[in-house]
Amino acid sequence: MKTAFWLAGAAALVLANPASAGDTIKIGFVSTFSGPTAVIGNDMRNSFELALDHIGRKMGGKPVEVIYEDDGQKPDVGKQKTEKLVQSDKVDFLAGYIWSNVLLASLKTAVDSQTFLISANAGPSQLAGELCSPYVFSTSWQNDQTPAAMGLFMNANGVKSVFLIGPNYAAGKDMLAGLKSTFKGEVKGEEYTVWPSQLDFSAELAKARASGAESIFVFYPGAAGAQFLNQYVQAGLKGQMPLYTAFTVDETTLPLQKENAFGVSGAQEWVNDLPNEQNKKFVADYRAKYPGARPSYYGAQAYDAAQLINSAVVAVGGDTTKKDAMKAEMEKANFKSLRGAFKYGNNHIPIQNFYLQDVVKGAGGELSLKTVATIVTDDQDRFHDKCPMK
Protein backbone atom coordinates (compact mmCIF):
# COMPACT_ATOMS: atom_id res chain seq x y z
CA MET A 1 0.00 0.00 0.00
CA LYS A 2 2.86 2.38 0.77
CA THR A 3 4.38 1.78 -2.65
CA ALA A 4 0.99 2.39 -4.23
CA PHE A 5 0.86 5.71 -2.37
CA TRP A 6 3.96 6.82 -4.28
CA LEU A 7 2.86 5.34 -7.59
CA ALA A 8 -0.42 7.25 -7.46
CA GLY A 9 1.56 10.44 -6.99
CA ALA A 10 3.89 9.62 -9.88
CA ALA A 11 0.98 8.93 -12.19
CA ALA A 12 -0.68 12.18 -11.19
CA LEU A 13 2.50 14.10 -11.97
CA VAL A 14 2.35 12.84 -15.53
CA LEU A 15 -1.40 12.89 -16.12
CA ALA A 16 -2.64 15.86 -14.14
CA ASN A 17 -4.12 18.87 -15.91
CA PRO A 18 -3.45 21.55 -13.27
CA ALA A 19 -5.15 24.91 -13.00
CA SER A 20 -3.45 27.92 -14.54
CA ALA A 21 -0.70 29.67 -12.61
CA GLY A 22 -1.63 32.72 -10.57
CA ASP A 23 -0.18 36.22 -10.49
CA THR A 24 1.78 35.50 -7.33
CA ILE A 25 3.87 32.61 -6.09
CA LYS A 26 2.06 31.35 -2.98
CA ILE A 27 3.99 29.43 -0.37
CA GLY A 28 2.49 27.87 2.73
CA PHE A 29 4.96 27.61 5.61
CA VAL A 30 4.05 25.28 8.47
CA SER A 31 6.13 25.49 11.62
CA THR A 32 5.84 26.04 15.39
CA PHE A 33 5.32 29.68 16.36
CA SER A 34 3.90 29.27 19.86
CA GLY A 35 4.96 27.54 23.06
CA PRO A 36 8.49 26.69 24.25
CA THR A 37 9.72 25.62 20.80
CA ALA A 38 8.56 28.80 19.05
CA VAL A 39 12.18 29.97 19.00
CA ILE A 40 12.84 27.30 16.37
CA GLY A 41 9.92 28.30 14.17
CA ASN A 42 10.81 31.97 14.49
CA ASP A 43 14.38 31.30 13.38
CA MET A 44 13.08 29.37 10.37
CA ARG A 45 10.68 32.20 9.48
CA ASN A 46 13.40 34.83 9.93
CA SER A 47 15.74 32.96 7.61
CA PHE A 48 13.06 32.28 5.01
CA GLU A 49 12.23 36.00 4.98
CA LEU A 50 15.92 36.86 4.61
CA ALA A 51 16.16 34.53 1.61
CA LEU A 52 13.22 36.35 0.04
CA ASP A 53 15.01 39.67 0.65
CA HIS A 54 18.08 38.29 -1.10
CA ILE A 55 16.12 37.39 -4.23
CA GLY A 56 14.15 40.66 -4.33
CA ARG A 57 10.99 39.02 -2.96
CA LYS A 58 10.08 37.79 -6.42
CA MET A 59 10.34 34.41 -8.11
CA GLY A 60 10.17 34.05 -11.86
CA GLY A 61 9.16 37.72 -12.10
CA LYS A 62 6.18 37.25 -9.77
CA PRO A 63 5.79 38.60 -6.23
CA VAL A 64 5.94 36.01 -3.46
CA GLU A 65 3.21 35.60 -0.86
CA VAL A 66 4.02 33.46 2.18
CA ILE A 67 1.29 32.22 4.51
CA TYR A 68 2.74 31.17 7.86
CA GLU A 69 0.78 28.62 9.89
CA ASP A 70 1.44 27.49 13.46
CA ASP A 71 1.23 23.72 14.01
CA GLY A 72 1.50 24.07 17.82
CA GLN A 73 3.88 21.08 17.68
CA LYS A 74 0.83 18.82 17.19
CA PRO A 75 0.43 16.40 14.26
CA ASP A 76 -3.34 16.87 13.99
CA VAL A 77 -3.02 20.65 13.94
CA GLY A 78 -0.21 20.49 11.38
CA LYS A 79 -2.36 18.28 9.16
CA GLN A 80 -5.29 20.71 9.45
CA LYS A 81 -3.09 23.68 8.61
CA THR A 82 -1.62 21.84 5.62
CA GLU A 83 -5.11 21.01 4.37
CA LYS A 84 -6.12 24.67 4.70
CA LEU A 85 -3.09 25.85 2.76
CA VAL A 86 -3.70 23.36 -0.04
CA GLN A 87 -7.48 23.38 -0.28
CA SER A 88 -8.41 26.96 0.67
CA ASP A 89 -5.29 29.03 0.03
CA LYS A 90 -4.27 26.94 -3.00
CA VAL A 91 -0.56 27.43 -2.42
CA ASP A 92 2.00 26.50 -5.06
CA PHE A 93 4.46 25.12 -2.49
CA LEU A 94 4.52 23.94 1.09
CA ALA A 95 7.61 24.43 3.25
CA GLY A 96 8.80 24.33 6.85
CA TYR A 97 7.93 21.36 9.10
CA ILE A 98 10.13 20.96 12.17
CA TRP A 99 8.69 17.74 13.59
CA SER A 100 8.70 14.32 11.92
CA ASN A 101 5.31 13.33 13.34
CA VAL A 102 3.75 16.55 12.02
CA LEU A 103 5.28 16.02 8.59
CA LEU A 104 4.11 12.41 8.39
CA ALA A 105 0.58 13.47 9.31
CA SER A 106 0.63 16.15 6.58
CA LEU A 107 2.34 14.19 3.84
CA LYS A 108 -0.64 12.60 2.11
CA THR A 109 -2.39 15.95 1.72
CA ALA A 110 0.59 17.33 -0.16
CA VAL A 111 1.15 14.31 -2.37
CA ASP A 112 -2.50 13.73 -3.22
CA SER A 113 -2.89 17.37 -4.23
CA GLN A 114 0.36 17.37 -6.25
CA THR A 115 1.70 20.24 -4.15
CA PHE A 116 5.47 20.33 -3.79
CA LEU A 117 6.52 20.09 -0.15
CA ILE A 118 9.99 21.19 0.93
CA SER A 119 10.90 19.90 4.38
CA ALA A 120 13.30 22.37 5.98
CA ASN A 121 13.94 20.13 8.97
CA ALA A 122 11.97 16.93 9.57
CA GLY A 123 13.48 13.85 7.93
CA PRO A 124 11.60 10.70 8.98
CA SER A 125 12.97 7.43 7.65
CA GLN A 126 9.67 6.66 5.88
CA LEU A 127 10.03 9.81 3.79
CA ALA A 128 13.45 8.67 2.59
CA GLY A 129 12.23 5.15 1.89
CA GLU A 130 8.86 3.72 0.99
CA LEU A 131 6.96 7.03 1.30
CA CYS A 132 9.31 9.03 -0.91
CA SER A 133 7.47 11.11 -3.49
CA PRO A 134 8.13 13.14 -6.64
CA TYR A 135 6.49 16.04 -4.80
CA VAL A 136 8.62 15.98 -1.65
CA PHE A 137 12.13 17.37 -1.24
CA SER A 138 14.33 17.96 1.80
CA THR A 139 16.77 20.78 2.43
CA SER A 140 17.93 19.17 5.67
CA TRP A 141 18.74 15.43 6.02
CA GLN A 142 17.23 12.08 6.84
CA ASN A 143 16.94 11.82 10.64
CA ASP A 144 19.45 8.97 10.98
CA GLN A 145 22.28 10.75 9.16
CA THR A 146 23.44 13.19 11.83
CA PRO A 147 23.55 10.67 14.71
CA ALA A 148 25.16 8.15 12.36
CA ALA A 149 27.93 10.69 11.77
CA MET A 150 28.28 11.11 15.53
CA GLY A 151 28.61 7.33 15.87
CA LEU A 152 31.54 7.41 13.44
CA PHE A 153 33.17 10.16 15.49
CA MET A 154 32.68 8.21 18.70
CA ASN A 155 34.35 5.18 17.12
CA ALA A 156 37.30 7.29 16.03
CA ASN A 157 37.46 8.78 19.54
CA GLY A 158 37.75 5.34 21.12
CA VAL A 159 34.38 5.29 22.87
CA LYS A 160 33.61 1.71 23.93
CA SER A 161 30.13 1.97 25.46
CA VAL A 162 27.17 4.35 25.51
CA PHE A 163 23.75 4.87 27.07
CA LEU A 164 21.09 6.26 24.69
CA ILE A 165 18.33 8.71 25.62
CA GLY A 166 15.75 10.33 23.35
CA PRO A 167 12.08 11.30 22.97
CA ASN A 168 9.45 8.71 22.14
CA TYR A 169 8.29 9.90 18.71
CA ALA A 170 9.27 9.28 15.09
CA ALA A 171 12.43 11.40 15.05
CA GLY A 172 13.61 10.17 18.45
CA LYS A 173 13.42 6.57 17.30
CA ASP A 174 15.22 7.41 14.05
CA MET A 175 17.97 9.29 15.89
CA LEU A 176 18.84 6.50 18.28
CA ALA A 177 18.65 3.97 15.44
CA GLY A 178 21.01 6.16 13.43
CA LEU A 179 23.60 6.17 16.22
CA LYS A 180 23.33 2.39 16.58
CA SER A 181 23.79 1.92 12.82
CA THR A 182 27.41 3.12 12.98
CA PHE A 183 28.56 2.89 16.61
CA LYS A 184 30.74 -0.18 17.10
CA GLY A 185 30.84 -0.19 20.90
CA GLU A 186 28.33 -1.58 23.38
CA VAL A 187 24.94 0.04 23.97
CA LYS A 188 24.42 -0.35 27.71
CA GLY A 189 20.83 0.91 27.74
CA GLU A 190 18.19 2.82 25.80
CA GLU A 191 15.50 5.11 27.21
CA TYR A 192 12.62 6.88 25.45
CA THR A 193 10.79 9.71 27.21
CA VAL A 194 7.31 11.23 26.84
CA TRP A 195 7.33 13.84 24.08
CA PRO A 196 7.03 16.78 24.21
CA SER A 197 5.75 17.19 27.77
CA GLN A 198 8.54 15.52 29.77
CA LEU A 199 11.26 17.94 30.82
CA ASP A 200 12.51 16.13 33.92
CA PHE A 201 15.24 13.66 32.98
CA SER A 202 16.52 12.78 36.45
CA ALA A 203 15.31 9.17 36.23
CA GLU A 204 16.96 8.62 32.85
CA LEU A 205 20.21 10.21 34.00
CA ALA A 206 20.21 7.95 37.06
CA LYS A 207 19.77 4.91 34.82
CA ALA A 208 22.61 6.09 32.61
CA ARG A 209 24.89 6.47 35.64
CA ALA A 210 23.96 3.01 36.94
CA SER A 211 24.42 1.34 33.55
CA GLY A 212 28.19 1.38 33.66
CA ALA A 213 28.37 3.04 30.24
CA GLU A 214 31.32 5.35 29.72
CA SER A 215 29.29 7.91 27.73
CA ILE A 216 25.78 9.18 26.93
CA PHE A 217 24.27 9.95 23.54
CA VAL A 218 21.18 12.13 23.49
CA PHE A 219 18.79 13.74 21.02
CA TYR A 220 16.59 16.52 22.39
CA PRO A 221 15.81 19.58 20.25
CA GLY A 222 14.70 22.97 21.53
CA ALA A 223 13.71 23.58 25.14
CA ALA A 224 14.06 19.90 26.00
CA GLY A 225 17.70 20.04 24.91
CA ALA A 226 18.36 22.99 27.19
CA GLN A 227 16.72 21.23 30.12
CA PHE A 228 18.50 17.95 29.51
CA LEU A 229 21.97 19.48 29.27
CA ASN A 230 21.51 21.58 32.39
CA GLN A 231 20.23 18.59 34.38
CA TYR A 232 23.12 16.46 33.09
CA VAL A 233 25.57 19.01 34.48
CA GLN A 234 23.64 19.41 37.75
CA ALA A 235 23.75 15.63 38.22
CA GLY A 236 27.54 15.81 38.22
CA LEU A 237 27.89 13.66 35.10
CA LYS A 238 29.83 16.09 32.92
CA GLY A 239 33.17 15.07 34.33
CA GLN A 240 32.23 11.39 34.52
CA MET A 241 30.28 10.45 31.37
CA PRO A 242 31.07 12.47 28.22
CA LEU A 243 27.95 13.61 26.36
CA TYR A 244 27.59 13.16 22.59
CA THR A 245 24.63 14.78 20.89
CA ALA A 246 22.60 15.43 17.78
CA PHE A 247 20.39 18.55 17.57
CA THR A 248 20.68 19.23 21.31
CA VAL A 249 23.05 22.20 21.28
CA ASP A 250 22.48 24.99 18.74
CA GLU A 251 22.14 28.75 18.57
CA THR A 252 18.52 28.60 19.78
CA THR A 253 19.43 26.67 22.94
CA LEU A 254 22.80 28.22 23.83
CA PRO A 255 21.26 31.24 25.61
CA LEU A 256 19.77 28.77 28.12
CA GLN A 257 22.60 26.23 28.21
CA LYS A 258 25.42 28.80 28.48
CA GLU A 259 28.79 27.41 29.62
CA ASN A 260 27.22 24.02 30.31
CA ALA A 261 27.52 23.43 26.57
CA PHE A 262 31.32 23.68 26.55
CA GLY A 263 32.97 20.40 25.63
CA VAL A 264 29.76 18.73 24.42
CA SER A 265 30.33 17.19 20.98
CA GLY A 266 27.66 17.56 18.33
CA ALA A 267 27.33 16.79 14.62
CA GLN A 268 25.65 18.82 11.91
CA GLU A 269 25.58 19.43 8.16
CA TRP A 270 25.70 23.22 8.62
CA VAL A 271 27.68 25.36 11.04
CA ASN A 272 27.66 29.15 10.95
CA ASP A 273 31.36 29.43 10.08
CA LEU A 274 31.31 27.37 6.87
CA PRO A 275 33.59 29.38 4.57
CA ASN A 276 31.54 29.74 1.38
CA GLU A 277 30.54 33.27 0.35
CA GLN A 278 26.78 32.64 0.38
CA ASN A 279 26.97 31.45 3.98
CA LYS A 280 29.11 34.41 5.06
CA LYS A 281 26.52 36.78 3.60
CA PHE A 282 23.64 34.90 5.21
CA VAL A 283 25.15 34.99 8.70
CA ALA A 284 26.14 38.66 8.44
CA ASP A 285 22.80 39.78 7.02
CA TYR A 286 20.83 37.70 9.52
CA ARG A 287 22.63 39.31 12.44
CA ALA A 288 22.07 42.76 10.91
CA LYS A 289 18.37 42.16 10.24
CA TYR A 290 17.68 40.52 13.62
CA PRO A 291 19.98 42.24 16.16
CA GLY A 292 21.02 40.10 19.10
CA ALA A 293 20.11 36.85 17.34
CA ARG A 294 22.30 34.23 15.70
CA PRO A 295 21.02 31.91 12.95
CA SER A 296 20.78 28.20 13.66
CA TYR A 297 20.83 25.19 11.37
CA TYR A 298 17.02 25.34 11.38
CA GLY A 299 17.23 28.77 9.79
CA ALA A 300 19.95 27.76 7.34
CA GLN A 301 17.78 24.89 6.09
CA ALA A 302 14.77 27.20 5.73
CA TYR A 303 16.90 29.67 3.77
CA ASP A 304 17.92 26.86 1.43
CA ALA A 305 14.26 25.83 1.07
CA ALA A 306 13.40 29.28 -0.27
CA GLN A 307 16.34 29.15 -2.67
CA LEU A 308 15.34 25.69 -3.89
CA ILE A 309 11.79 26.84 -4.58
CA ASN A 310 13.12 29.91 -6.36
CA SER A 311 15.32 27.79 -8.61
CA ALA A 312 12.28 25.78 -9.72
CA VAL A 313 10.08 28.82 -10.34
CA VAL A 314 12.77 30.68 -12.28
CA ALA A 315 13.37 27.61 -14.46
CA VAL A 316 9.75 27.66 -15.65
CA GLY A 317 9.46 31.44 -15.95
CA GLY A 318 6.93 31.61 -13.13
CA ASP A 319 4.58 29.04 -14.68
CA THR A 320 4.00 26.75 -11.70
CA THR A 321 1.74 24.47 -13.73
CA LYS A 322 4.92 22.97 -15.25
CA LYS A 323 5.41 20.49 -12.46
CA ASP A 324 7.61 18.05 -14.39
CA ALA A 325 10.05 20.83 -15.24
CA MET A 326 10.07 22.16 -11.69
CA LYS A 327 10.73 18.71 -10.30
CA ALA A 328 13.60 18.18 -12.75
CA GLU A 329 15.14 21.51 -11.80
CA MET A 330 14.91 20.89 -8.05
CA GLU A 331 16.55 17.51 -8.50
CA LYS A 332 19.64 19.36 -9.78
CA ALA A 333 20.01 21.27 -6.46
CA ASN A 334 21.01 24.13 -8.74
CA PHE A 335 21.25 26.94 -6.19
CA LYS A 336 23.87 28.34 -3.82
CA SER A 337 23.29 26.32 -0.66
CA LEU A 338 24.58 27.72 2.61
CA ARG A 339 26.33 24.41 3.28
CA GLY A 340 28.22 24.55 -0.01
CA ALA A 341 27.72 21.98 -2.74
CA PHE A 342 25.40 19.04 -2.25
CA LYS A 343 23.39 16.79 -4.53
CA TYR A 344 20.12 14.92 -4.22
CA GLY A 345 19.75 11.18 -3.98
CA ASN A 346 17.00 9.37 -5.83
CA ASN A 347 14.70 9.99 -2.84
CA HIS A 348 15.22 13.79 -2.83
CA ILE A 349 17.29 13.67 0.38
CA PRO A 350 20.61 15.57 0.24
CA ILE A 351 23.91 13.74 -0.17
CA GLN A 352 26.21 15.95 1.87
CA ASN A 353 29.00 16.43 4.42
CA PHE A 354 28.60 16.26 8.20
CA TYR A 355 30.82 18.18 10.60
CA LEU A 356 31.89 18.00 14.21
CA GLN A 357 30.85 21.17 16.03
CA ASP A 358 31.93 22.69 19.31
CA VAL A 359 30.86 25.67 21.43
CA VAL A 360 33.21 28.65 21.70
CA LYS A 361 33.07 32.09 23.31
CA GLY A 362 33.62 35.12 21.09
CA ALA A 363 35.61 38.25 21.89
CA GLY A 364 32.43 39.91 23.13
CA GLY A 365 31.55 36.97 25.35
CA GLU A 366 28.81 35.59 23.11
CA LEU A 367 28.60 31.83 22.61
CA SER A 368 28.48 30.26 19.19
CA LEU A 369 29.26 27.03 17.38
CA LYS A 370 32.36 26.43 15.31
CA THR A 371 33.38 23.72 12.88
CA VAL A 372 36.02 21.42 14.38
CA ALA A 373 36.39 18.76 11.69
CA THR A 374 34.64 17.00 8.83
CA ILE A 375 33.32 13.65 10.06
CA VAL A 376 32.01 12.27 6.77
CA THR A 377 31.81 13.52 3.18
CA ASP A 378 29.05 12.94 0.61
CA ASP A 379 26.95 10.93 3.03
CA GLN A 380 23.79 9.32 1.68
CA ASP A 381 20.99 8.11 3.91
CA ARG A 382 20.58 4.38 4.43
CA PHE A 383 16.94 4.22 3.29
CA HIS A 384 17.36 5.50 -0.29
CA ASP A 385 17.32 2.00 -1.75
CA LYS A 386 13.80 1.49 -0.36
CA CYS A 387 12.50 4.46 -2.38
CA PRO A 388 10.71 3.41 -5.60
CA MET A 389 11.96 6.49 -7.44
CA LYS A 390 15.06 5.94 -9.57
What are 240's strand-pairing partners?
A: none
Print pLDDT tens along the chain (390 aa): 334 444 444 444 444 434 457 899 999 999 999 999 999 999 999 999 999 999 999 999 999 999 999 999 999 999 999 999 999 999 999 999 999 999 999 999 999 999 999 999 999 999 999 999 999 999 999 999 999 999 999 999 999 999 999 999 999 999 999 999 999 999 999 999 999 999 999 999 999 999 999 999 999 999 999 999 999 999 999 989 999 999 999 999 999 999 999 999 999 999 999 999 999 999 999 999 999 899 999 999 999 999 999 999 999 999 999 999 999 999 999 999 999 999 999 999 999 999 999 999 987 888 999 999 999 999 999 999 999 998
Query: What is d(CA 41, CA 286) in angstroms, rounded to the nearest whole number?
Result: 15
State which H helix or E strand residue 23 sits in. none
| Amino acid, single-letter form, for residue 55 | I
Q: Which pLDDT score is estimated for 363?
A: 76
**Record: fold of 145-268:** Rossmann fold (3.40.50)
Query: What is d(CA 370, CA 270) in angstroms, rounded to the nearest whole number?
Result: 10
Query: What is d(CA 297, CA 252) in angstroms, rounded to the nearest whole number?
Result: 9
Say what angle helices 277-289 and 38-54 make with each other, to 10 degrees.
110
Say what angle helices 297-315 and 277-289 make with each other, to 10 degrees.
110
The three-state secondary structure class of 189 is strand
Nearest CA among 335, 313, 316 for reference residue 64: 313
Q: Which pLDDT score is estimated for 390?
A: 83
Fold match flag (2-141+275-351 vs 145-268): yes
Neighbours of 300 (CB within 10 A): 29
- What radius of gyration do the chain's Cα atoms show? 20
Q: Which pLDDT score is estimated for 20?
A: 58
Angle at 13 between CA 9 and CA 99, to 5 degrees: 50
DSSP state of 247: S
What are 166's strand-pairing partners?
A: 192
Q: Which pLDDT score is estimated for 87?
A: 98
Q: Which pLDDT score is estimated for 7?
A: 43
Query: What is d(CA 373, CA 268) in angstroms, rounded to the nearest whole number?
Result: 11
Query: What is d(CA 159, CA 140) in angstroms, rounded to the nearest whole number?
Result: 28
Task: Yes or no: say if 274 and 340 are a contact pair by the CB < 8 Å rule.
Answer: yes
Query: What is d(CA 390, CA 346) in angstroms, rounded to the nearest whole number?
Result: 5
2-141+275-351 CATH choice from 3.90.550.10, 1.10.10.10, 3.40.50.300, 3.40.50.2300:
3.40.50.2300
Q: Which pLDDT score is estimated for 366?
A: 86
Q: Where are the domains of the chain?
A: 2-141+275-351, 145-268
